[in-house]
Amino acid sequence: MHNDPKGRGNMATKLGLWGIVIIIAAIVSIASIVGTFAYMQMSTRQKLVVATTTSLYDTGLLDEVETAFEAKYTIDIYFISVGSGIAIQFAQRGDADMLLVHAPSEELKFLQGNYGVNRKIFAYNFFEIVGPTDDPANIEGLSPIDALSRIVAAGRNSTAVWVSRGDGSGTHVKEKELWAQAGFNWTLIRDEVNWFKETGSGMGKTLITANGLKAYTLTDIGTFLAYSVGTTNQVPNLETLVAQGSELINVYSAIAVNVTANPKANFEAATAFTKFVLSEEGQQIIGNYGIATYGQSLFYPAVELLKSNTNPTIVQMIKDYAYFNDDSTRTECPTQYRYGHPELYD
């Protein structure tokens, strides 16, 4: 029996099926990671371990990026696909050479802890709130903040269900920020067990759970398109209901592990991969991915946009959400967290 200082009772009793789902998801993730490390020992090429958010991996984008990168470099990439929070933990303890994540507030802590350097924004898209086609909380077309308020009211009236990832991922961080903006404390409303559920899983599994429950959830648009379009639609009960508002911007960054803090990190390979996703070829892969299958890009390239300011509205959204203070300016990576490659910031 674990200590229970908050008086929530035995986890299995409280969570029931949800506790079992979370435990199974954790076991599957651990097995996958163990398999990745075992396979690495068999390769003779240089190795680069990238801890990445599930949204980039589950959509298939990283498969195309990996194929193109490995054709140019004698480097094998090994992805650890987990939520951004867990990905950051892997890098902190030296089990990854770099990060591809989308949780700016957590990324800043990673830099400030001397764990990472040379943060570069390489892509963006948007979050959206999806839910059942009959929309029992009547949120379609509302602002994200108004939509969440209505979902709470409907949930408390037993007419709606919300599914949270609850895994410390970038999407989960964004969700908690949105709840706070709507005037709710995520930690408190998660205890309202009749309508608030958690999966402890990646975005794809969370969408499938929400589909089964005919529930609302927050998702990145890329993963939702990958799971909802075409004959293989895995979430037929869900549709996009809220997709407007600067609050929903979603920004992806690459961060190299600080080699001065972790001498075993493959810093130069991480830098090569960062430069590749920032390159014209890498940005084209990102911008074109999904068009043939889904009729639109799942992710949008950010490098030229930020350099040329071709869409000032989107640029400002990115800067407001994902830039950090550096003396009197704001930047994707403050100068004290840059190391060894000034060309990244020319």
DSSP, res 327? T
Confidence at residue 13, expressed as pLDDT on a 0 to 100 scale: 37
Reported confidence tier of residue 7, pLDDT bands at 50, 70, 90: very low
pLDDT band at 125, cuts 50/70/90? very high
> CA separation (Å) from 142 to 35, 118, 245, 298, 301?
44, 38, 9, 23, 27
pLDDT tops 50 at residue 51: yes
Q: How confident is the model at residue 29 (pLDDT cuts 50, 70, 90)?
A: low
How does DSSP assign 180-220, residue by residue? Answer: HHTT--HHHHTT-TTTEEE--S-HHHHHHHHHHHT-BEEEE
Tell me the residue type at 259.
V
Tens-digit pLDDT profile for residues 129-170:
999 999 999 999 999 999 999 999 999 999 999 999 999 899
Residue 14 confidence (pLDDT) above 50: no
| Section 229-242 average pLDDT | 90
Helix axes 84-92, 170-181, angle to 10 degrees: 120
219 pLDDT band (50/70/90 cuts)? very high
Task: Give residue 250's pLDDT.
Answer: 96
Q: pLDDT, tens digit, for every residue of 256-298?
A: 999 999 999 999 999 999 999 999 999 999 999 999 988 999 9
Tokens of 206: 């969370």
Structural domains present in the chain: 26-124+251-345 (3.40.190.10), 126-248 (3.40.190.10)
pTM score, two decimals?
0.85
Predicted confidence (pLDDT) per residue in 317-337, tens digit: 999 999 999 988 999 999 999
User: Which residues, other chains included, contact 98 with Cβ-Cβ below 8 Å and sequence gap of 6+?
Assistant: 48, 49, 50, 51, 91, 254, 255, 256, 257, 270, 273, 274
Compute the C-alpha angle 165/192/17, nearest 5°: 55
Instruction: Return the CA Rg of the chain.
Output: 20
